[in-house]
Structure formats: structure tokens, C-alpha cells
């Protein structure tokens, strides 16, 4: 039986499953991230990581904005507008949590 053919999990079981999966796949487990925090990247590797991160951050805002333009659902629009504000904000504001 595949994951897609199973019955949906109860809410609490789904949340537990999602947290376990997220903990294993979180970016801090990536080999480059680990080497970066251990100080084992070369200058060129670190520069490449920064460039990649900058590119990713700029594309994310555009993707959310494109999604917002295509959406006509008020709750989704509010969340996406807040996401754009957070993603576009300076680092100290990026820790702001989206309101439910």
C-alpha cells in the first residue's frame, strides 16, 4: 500500500508525521550547511552558497506574488500578502510569524 492509497491520518497523527518528516528534511541537515557551520567551506563555496541563497530569496517573493495575482480568495490573499512582506523584509523582521 502506498502513502497515497492509505486513508487520511487523524489530525494529531498527521501533525506528528509532518513534524518528523520536516525534522529529517530540514536544511540544517544538508552536508553543505553542516560544513558551513563547522567552518569547513572554502571562500568560493561560501560565496556560491550566498549567491544561491540570494537568488532563491528573490525568486520566492516573485513566486508568491505571481500566486497572489492568480488567486481570488481573500484568506489566501491575506496570507500571501503577509508572506511577501516577511520575505521582502530585513532579516530582523523576517522572524515575524504569520498570523492565523
Task: Quote the pLDDT of residue 93.
Answer: 47
Q: Is 70 exceeded by the pLDDT of residue 39?
A: yes
Closest alpha carbon to 42 in 54, 32, 52, 51:
32
H helix runs in 1-100, sequence order: 11-25, 31-37, 43-70, 74-88
pTM, rounded to two decimals: 0.50
Q: How confident is the model at residue 47 (pLDDT cuts 50, 70, 90)?
A: very high
CA angle 17, 18, 19 (to 5 degrees): 95
Of the two residues 12 and 100, the one the predictor is more confident about is 12
- For the segment 79-99, the average pLDDT, to the nearest whole number, is 60
Q: What is the distance between the alpha carbons of residues 40 and 34, in angstroms, rounded to a whole number?
A: 9
Q: Are 79 and 88 in contact (CB under 8 A)?
A: no
Amino acid at each position: 500500500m502506498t502513502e497515497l492509497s492509505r486513508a487520511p491520518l487523524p489530525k494529531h497523527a498527521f501533525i506528528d508525521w509532518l513534524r518528523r518528516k520536516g525534522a529529517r528534511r530540514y536544511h540544517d541537515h544538508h552536508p553543505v550547511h553542516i560544513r558551513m557551520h563547522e567552518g569547513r567551506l572554502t571562500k568560493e563555496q561560501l560565496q556560491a552558497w550566498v549567491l544561491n541563497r540570494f537568488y532563491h530569496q528573490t525568486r520566492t517573493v516573485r513566486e508568491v506574488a505571481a500566486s497572489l495575482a492568480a488567486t481570488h480568495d481573500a484568506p489566501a490573499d491575506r496570507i500571501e500578502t503577509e508572506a511577501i512582506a516577511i520575505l521582502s523584509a530585513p532579516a530582523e523582521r523576517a522572524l515575524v510569524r504569520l498570523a492565523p
